[in-house]
A and B are shown apart, each in its own frame.
Chain A
Amino acid sequence: MPQIAQLADTWSSQVFWLLVFFGITFLVVGNLMVPKVMSTVAERDGQIAADLAAAKAARDAADEQEEAWRVRENENRAAAQAIVAKAKDEAAAKSEKKLKAAQTRIDKKLADAEARIGDARTEALAEVESVAVEAAQDIVKTLAGVKVTKPVATKAVKEAMANG
């Protein structure tokens, strides 16, 4: 076993060179390089954390703006609906008024027409009566040779027509 067989000859060399090279490793690699590597990692972690925080802040701001927009939107919608309802009401009132006016006009026309019809009928009836009176006078004169005066004939016709 060379580890033991050569111990007396080599221990000093082993210890010396190990201290030299492990010392160099510790001083250069461990003390100079490793902290730099670790600071890079820490920097990156910090950067990532900052970026995440910024992203979160941006998202919160966006949420806030969206909320504000939503509120505004709702307000606008309510206002629009109010305007629409008002316009609808106005239009309804207007058309109702128009309808009423038209109805009135139509009723009036109807009443006029009815009145005219009534007049015409009365006139026609009067004409029929006078014709009937003359006819009755003529018929009586021709058949009986009696001359009937107009008032008598008129009375007779009126009686007959009232019965008829």
Chain B
Amino acid sequence: MAAEQAKVDPMYQFTIKPLGGSDEWVLGEGFNIAFTNSAMWMLITTVVLFLFVLGGMRRQLVPGRWQMMVETFTGFIDNMLEANIGKAGRKYVPYVFSLFMFILFANLLGLLPLGVVGVHPFTFTSHFTVTGVLAIISFSIVLLVGFWKHGFHFFSLFVPHGTPLPMIPVIAPIEFISFMVRPFSLALRLFVAMMAGHVLLEVLSSFVIDGTNAGVGFGLLVGLPSFILMIGICALELLVAGIQAYVFALLTALYINDAENLH
């Protein structure tokens, strides 16, 4: 029975494999820096993003389509920061743009149907080690900016404006916990959304394969609807890829706003 089952493990796609015998690369004791498939896709994301923005640097007065596209993205981030933070938000455009585009390109590249030609894209945003580091960077910026600009006064963030004095001992710990949860919610949201989507696609594809292997009847009954559903879910995943990148960037902007404009 076990031999008849197709070998579709929905989790296998998240496996990290060192490439080209790099598994012994270390930086000091126990700090392995093997160049994995995950690192490979980070490299690809960086290169593709670089080429994308490079195409928008022709600096023409009347932009072509590509330049228009790049300028739309920079304008989008610029507007988002200005709407949420104000004029001071301008200086965070390089970081938030890099963050948004890096996550967006990682999500989209991870969805490419390269399995057709035998290469398997790896979505590194489905690893909480990666999303966690990005969330910690965003959170660190919030802390640095907050303490830099407001000093210890930044702690007044935990006392919302207009809190009655007797309520402060109760409100402050709650606010503190909600503040400290931010990096986790930031990291877990992206990681869970990306992983869930890929698992769902993999499970549906296993239905298609197993159903078709079980005969024409099952193929039509199970395989075909699953396949149609997969097409729909793929479209949904493209949407999720954009939305999750946007949410990450937007929440980063909102958190930076807390630090920049305290209350």
Contact = CB atoms under 8 A, between A and B. Distances in A.
Interface of A: 1-3, 6-7, 9-22, 24-26, 28-31, 33-38, 40-41, 43-44, 47
B65 to A, nearest CB: 15
Given A2-B16, A40-B59, A30 B129 contact: no
Given A17-B42, A25-B49, A9 B32 contact: yes
A19 B129 CA distance: 11
Contacts of B93: 30, 34-35, 38
Contacts of B134: 18, 22
Interface residues of B, number: 54
Contacts, number: 141
Contacts of A30: 93-95, 97-98
Given A3-B191, A13-B18, 13 more contacts: A12-B30, A13-B34, A14-B127, A15-B129, A17-B33, A17-B35, A22-B46, A26-B98, A29-B49, A34-B94, A37-B70, A38-B74, A43-B61
State the 5 A-B residue pairs at the shortest beta-carbon distance, nearest first. Answer: A30-B94, A17-B39, A30-B98, A21-B42, A14-B129
Contacts of B75: 41
Interface of B: 11-12, 14-16, 18, 27, 30-36, 38-39, 42-43, 45-46, 49-50, 53-54, 56-57, 59-61, 63, 67, 70-71, 74-75, 78, 93-95, 97-98, 101-102, 124, 126-130, 133-134, 137, 191, 195
Contact of A13 (B36, B56, B137): B36
A17 B98 contact: no
B35 to A, nearest CB: 7
B14 A13 contact: no
Contacts of A10: 16, 32, 34, 36, 38, 129
Given A17-B38, A21-B39, A37 B53 contact: yes
Contacts of A37: 53, 56-57, 70-71, 74
